[in-house]
Amino acid sequence: MIEINNISKTFGDKKVLKEVSFIIEQGKTNLIIGESGMGKSVFLKSVVGLHPVDNGNILYDGRDLTQMDDKELKALRQEIGMVFQGGALFNSSSVEENIRFPLDMFTKMSKKEKQKRIDFCLEHVNIENSNHLFPSEISGGMQKRVAIARAIALNPKYLFFDEPNSGLDPKTAIVIDNLILSLTKEFDITTMIITHDMNSVMEIGEKIMFVYDGKKWWEGTNNEIFNTENKELNEFVFASDLFKSIKTINQ
C-alpha cells in the first residue's frame, strides 16, 4: 500500500499539485484520471520520487519516500516497476537486452537463471520469438508489452503506468488493460495507472481518483463514476458521444 498525504508540487510560480492525498491499495488497480494538463503525470512522478514534493509525505508500506537518503531510495526503487508513456525502451538494445538490463544491474543471477526470468516475463506479456528484435522493429503495442516485461523483471511490489494505452488501437488497449489487471492480481502488486482513457476506467478501474486543477476532485470506483453528481467529472466522463448514449440508455 502507498499512502500519499497532502503532497504539493510547484514549478516556478505555478502550483501543479495542491495538497493531494490518496491511498494506493495493494492488489487493486488504482487509476488516476483527469484531463490533460491537470497534474496527473506530475503526481505520478512525484509519487515515484522523480519530482521531489514541496510538502506532504509518501509512505510505501510505512516507509516515507520524502525522508529517504540516496541509499534507501535506491533500495526502494528496486521494488518499483514503471511503464512510461512511450515505453522508454533502450533503442539500441534488443527486446531481450532491455529485460536483462535490470537483472544485470541488480541481481547475482547466473546467465541461465537470467534467461529463465526473461522467458518468464516475456511469456507473461504474451510475446514470443521476438527476443532479438529491436524496439524500432516491433509495434507500439508490443513495445508497451516489452516495457511491462522489463518492469516486472525484478518482481516489483509496486507498479506504475503512465498512460499505458496512449497511441494504441482500442483492441490492443484492451489487451494491455487486461494484462495490467492480471499481473496486479496474480502477483498481488500495488498498481497505479495514469490514464484519460474512459474505456480503461470502465474495464479495470477498481479505485479511481479524478484530478482537476491539481487537486483531488473525486474518489470512487468504476461503478460509482457513472452516477456522480460532480460537474467537472461528469464533463470528463461524458465528453464522448458514446458515453453520453450509454448514460441515456441507462437512464
Partner 1 sequence: MKLLFHIGRYALLLKKVFAKPQKFRIFFIQLLKELDKLGVGSVSIVLIITFFMGAVVTIQTAANMSNPLLPKYLIGFATRDSIILEFSSTVTAVILAGIMGSNISSEIGNMRIGEQIDAMEIMGVNSANHIILPKILSMIIMMPFLVIIAMAVGIFGGLVVSLLSNALTLNDYLEGLQYDFSAFKVLYSIVKSLVFAFIITSVSSYHGFYVRGGAIEVGKAGSRGVIYSIILILMSNLFITHLMLT
Q: Which stretches of the chain bind partner 1, using CB under 8 A? A: 45, 48, 50, 73-78, 80, 82, 84-86, 88-91, 101-102, 104-106, 154
For residue 178, the 8-state DSSP code is H
Question: At closest approach, how far in Å is the CB of 57 from partner 1?
Answer: 20
C-alpha distance from residue 147 to each of 83, 91, 249 (Å):
6, 12, 38
- Residue 90 or 116 with smaller CB distance to partner 1: 90
Cα torsion through 118, 124, 130, 135, rounded to 10: -90
| Cα gap 142→119, rounded to integer Å | 15
Question: At closest approach, how far in Å is the CB of 48 from partner 1?
Answer: 6
Rounded to a whole number, what is the largest CA-CA distance in the chain? Answer: 60
Question: At closest approach, how far in Å is the CB of 222 from partner 1?
Answer: 27
| Cα gap 32→233, rounded to integer Å | 12
Question: At closest approach, how far in Å is the CB of 244 from partner 1?
Answer: 35
The Cβ of residue 142 has, within 10 Å, a number of other Cβ atoms equal to 19
Question: At closest approach, how far in Å is the CB of 217 from partner 1?
Answer: 27
- Residue 70 or 229 with smaller CB distance to partner 1: 70
Question: At closest approach, how far in Å is the CB of 160 from partner 1?
Answer: 8
- Residue 91 or 129 with smaller CB distance to partner 1: 91
| Cα gap 62→3, rounded to integer Å | 8
Strands of 14-24's sheet, edge to edge? 14-24, 2-11, 55-60, 63-64
- Residue 167 or 220 with smaller CB distance to partner 1: 167
| Cα gap 197→72, rounded to integer Å | 35
Question: At closest approach, how far in Å is the CB of 180 from partner 1?
Answer: 17
| Cα gap 187→81, rounded to integer Å | 13
- Residue 28 or 150 with smaller CB distance to partner 1: 150
- Residue 104 or 235 with smaller CB distance to partner 1: 104
- For residue 14, give the amino acid letter: K
Q: Are strands 14-24 and 2-11 parallel, antiparallel or unpaired?
A: antiparallel
- Residue 22 or 160 with smaller CB distance to partner 1: 160
